[in-house]
Structure 1
Amino acid sequence: MDELDKKFEEAYQIASTTSIKLPPDVMLQFYAYYKQATKGNNYNLSVGASDELRNAFKLNAWFQLNHVSEKEAKKEYIKLVNKHLKNT
């Protein structure tokens, strides 16, 4: 595991365990960068009927990052954590 992967994993642990309520647009950024970092352009969502609108927003946020490499997505995810969660 290289240094970027270690930092990404640390950032993910911070983000996934926080109790801070973030605005929906920030949550979508976290989701999109995480998915792009871990799945790349392999868009696959399990869509439940009750979650169609929510999943549409999530997929749209992820799709907007189709030009971003997995490595760059990891860097951006880490920046988001540092900006919104690191000092909490």
Structure 2
Amino acid sequence: MTSEEIDIAFQKVVTLVNDHQDPFPADVLLKLYAYYKKATNAPHKPSYSKKPLITAFKTNALFQAQHFTEDEAKQLYIETANHYFLYRK
């Protein structure tokens, strides 16, 4: 896939995820969070939570995604979301 094709697919999946009404499992949500942050070149500081444990998990997820390029993070976001929607019960 070209970078442009990846971006188009990424935007479609982001919309799908944002429109989803049911809660995501925590592990999937953390992956989506980290991949989205990396894919969009957002600041790598985790958003603040009133619960320090949640902030720690977000920080860890961002740390694990730091070596991916933006396109790789977009592809991983797409794969993670597609896997969730395909295999959810």
Whether the 8 Å contact between 1:15 and 1:85 is mirrored in structure 2 is no
Separation of aligned partners in 2, 1:46 and 1:20: 21
RMSD: 2.2
Please report the TM-score for the alignment, with normalisation by the length of structure 1: 0.81
Is it true that 1:83 corresponds to 2:83 in the alignment? Answer: yes
**CA shift digits 1:29-81 (9 cap, x unpaired):** 111111111126x4123425x23221221121011111111110000111111
Separation of aligned partners in 1, 2:8 and 2:70: 14
- Which position in structure 1 is the counterpart of 2:48? 47
Please report the TM-score for the alignment, with normalisation by the length of structure 2: 0.81
Note the residue ranges of structure 1 that are not aligned, 5 or more in a row. Answer: none
Separation of aligned partners in 2, 1:14 and 1:32: 17
Listed as ranges, the matches of 1:9-88 within 5 Å are 9-39=11-41, 42-48=43-49, 50-85=50-85
Separation of aligned partners in 2, 1:87 and 1:45: 28
Separation of aligned partners in 1, 2:86 and 2:12: 11
The residue type paired with residue 79 of structure 1 is: E
Q: Which SS does the other structure have where 2:65 is aligned?
A: coil
Note the residue ranges of structure 2 that are not aligned, 5 or more in a row. Answer: none
Q: Which SS does the other structure have where 1:45 is aligned?
A: coil
Aligned residues: 86
Whether the 8 Å contact between 1:14 and 1:85 is mirrored in structure 2 is no
